[in-house]
Structure 1
Amino acid sequence: MLTKPSHPQALNRQRLELTDGDFIDLDWQRRPDHNAPLLLLVHGLEGSADSHYMRRLLSDAENQSLAAVAMHQRSCSGEPNRLTRSYHSGASDDLMAVITELKRQYPESPLWVVGYSLGGNQLVKYLGEQREYARVERAVVVSAPLDLAACARRMERGFSRVYQTHLIGRLQQKTRDKLDQLPLTEQELSRLKTFYQFDDRVTAPLNGFSGAEDYYQQASGKAFLAHIAVPTLLLHAVDDPFMTEAVIPAPDELSPSVELELCPNGGHVGFIEGGWPWSPRYYLERRILGYLAAT
């Protein structure tokens, strides 16, 4: 069994109050000195600062004395969010709120942002929307579901259904806690077995979309890649079990600022390059930090 790398020091939590009355929790590992760079990490679906990929990068950042902070999506910090709205793949407004706060606190620190999976799709959408006004110096996007409709269909096939069942169960539980605020019964909620069904009945209506198709069309990051003005590394594995070829952008869909690195192997937020099964050596963190520090 793989063990999670331990944090070199305790994370300090900051609560960011949002204008809609909700909140986002930020876990600080180290704050920047003077105008030193600041690394922001954005996790994926049902992740947190405690997710294995987040902990690995936080650990490596600490080893390099790099200031780092982990953003929790709404309801993912161990405490339910206040509103019926939660988080979703297109919630670039939440990422904007976090970036605005970080630049307010540390206006002279270059901001580096790494987004994983769902958080990576949010990051692509944010960068494409904001273009040269993104206030981000460099970015890395890992295993992002840039075509949400294609990914939802892929999750209904093969072994991916095991992950779908697990994640839908967690999302259902969070929704169950708010059923008194929703036009949905317990029985109806329990019958939602796929991402498409859940997104159509829960994610979409709670976040202002007319249905799953509307949500997927508006929130998918792929269409935003051509507008990114920030140096951005798009890291993806061909064998990602959550994705299809539809996720992989063609060269003419990328802005000159985006570098696509397509690895034949790597899975979903994996990218192991060697070591033993119980002590793997990861390519991912080395590549992320190397790209961000490049001039």
Structure 2
Amino acid sequence: MPVIHSTYTPPFYFRNGFLATVYSGLLRSVTLEQTRERITLKDGDFLDLDWSYAETKTNKLIILLHGLEGHGQRPYITGAAKHFNNHGFDAIAMNFRGCSGELNRNYYSYHSGWTQDLDEVIKFALSKYEYSQIVLYGISLGGNLVLKYLGERDHVPNAVKAGIAISTPCHLHGSCKALHHPKNKLFHDRFLKELLERLKYKQKHFPEYLSPEAIKNIKTLKDFDDVYTSKAHGFIDAEDYYAQCSSLQFLDTIKVPSLIINALNDSFLSPECYPVKEAKNNSNLSLEMPNYGGHVGFIDKNNVYYNEYRGLEFIKNL
């Protein structure tokens, strides 16, 4: 499908990508009533799902996937859930393993290509409720998961009608290099601090897999992926993990209508994260590249973000 012309224009002071990113990550607030449900996975681990509901009984569901070190109460998740709730969708905010406030049971946890848990959540929702329209909505890392899930499978459940991916690092190696750039040091260091804090707890539970000395040698996000993410999940090293899990290579085979919204001033994304050629070659793939928005910072009116408006609009026009 041809690349979509974007009409998004934020207030002047939020045209700066850094300001839009920081404001949206630290200062945005969304009020939403959620109900938590824990499910047991095939391997004996667990996931916590945060539900919110439409005002009346519905056959429509949106499943929301957060970004790196996020969770189901982040405003970029609750904002989208609330907007879709207000328009007739129930919502599940997935908390990835270890991200709901409690350490998961296994040494491995989650990563940018770990689509198995999403598959289990979809099947769980379909087994428990009569949903005939499911929308998958991923932010950042969660966006990569959505696109990889849709493109790597020969078949997805018939109820899955659309995918939406926001601020998505389609090319993980390129995005990793972007995050290591000095202009992103504030974000890089914050992510790394949160990851290391959790890894220290995990090391105490699984000392046979990881030593305190190995953790001390982790100085960058790539180091973290070399030491933990890759080894814990069966990859050779970080670069092998990035190569196998980048959604870019799966975009050609997506058969479900999908929308990617990546801002051109998103400092987390490399040039490869704007898949123009893939969108033009796949009629099921739409790509919108607003000039503004930073990383998940598409600030708009009434505390409903542009990506939330556009996501719903995209679904209505299918």
So what's the TM-score if we normalise by structure 2? 0.85
CA contact (8 A) 1:90 1:220 kept: yes
Residue aligned with 1:226, SS: helix
Q: Cα 1:148–1:134, aligned 2, differ >3 Å: closer, same or farther?
A: farther
Q: Whose relative contact order is higher, 1 or 2, with alpha carbons under 8 Å and at least 6 apart?
A: 2
C-alpha contact 1:43 1:49 (8 A) present in aligned 2: yes
What is aligned with 1:250? 276
Runs of 4+ in 1 over 3 A off after TM superposition: 31-35
What amino acid maps onto 2:288 in structure 1?
A: E
Structure 1: distance between partners of 2:294 and 2:100: 26
CA contact (8 A) 1:272 1:283 kept: yes
Shift of 1:151: 0.9
Identify the structure with the greater strand proportion: 1
Q: Is the 8 A contact 2:83 2:304 kept in 1?
A: no
User: Out of 181, 193, 197, which is 1:157 matched to?
Assistant: 181
Counting only pairs closer than 5 Å after superposition, residues 70-89 of structure 1 correspond to structure 2 as 70-89=93-112
Question: Would you say the 8 A contact 2:79–2:304 is kept in 1?
Answer: no
Q: Distance in 2 between matches of 1:70 and 1:189?
A: 30
Give the structure 1 partner of residue 126 of structure 2.
Answer: 103
Q: Quick one: distance in 2 between partners of 1:62 and 1:218?
A: 35
TM-score by length of 1: 0.92
Partner of 2:297: 270
Tell me how far apart the structure 1 counterparts of residues 70 and 253 of structure 2 sit (CA, whole Å). Answer: 28
Unaligned runs of 5+ in 1: none
**CA deviation profile, 1:6-29 (whole Å, cap 9, x unmatched):** 11x3x1111111111111111111
- Cα distance in 2 for partners of 1:65, 1:137 equals 15
Separation (CA, whole Å) in 1 of partners of 2:153 and 2:231: 25
Q: Distance in 1 between matches of 2:189 and 2:119?
A: 31
Match of 2:14 in 1: none
Shift of 1:36: 2.1
> Matches of residues 57-206 of structure 1 in structure 2 within 5 Å?
57-135=80-158, 136-180=160-204, 181-182=206-207, 183-206=209-232
Q: Residue 215 of structure 1: which of 241, 244, 259 is its match?
A: 241
SS in 1 for 2:260: strand
Q: Residue type matched to 1:147 in 2?
A: H
* CA deviation after TM superposition for structure 1 residue 127, in Å: 0.2
State whether residues 40 and 71 of structure 1, in contact with CA within 8 Å, keep that contact through their aligned partners in structure 2.
yes
1:123-174 per-residue CA deviation (whole Å, 9 max, x = no partner) reads: 1110001244344111111111111111111111122121111111111111
* Identical counterparts, % of pairs: 34
**Aligned partner of residue 289 in structure 2, secondary structure:** strand
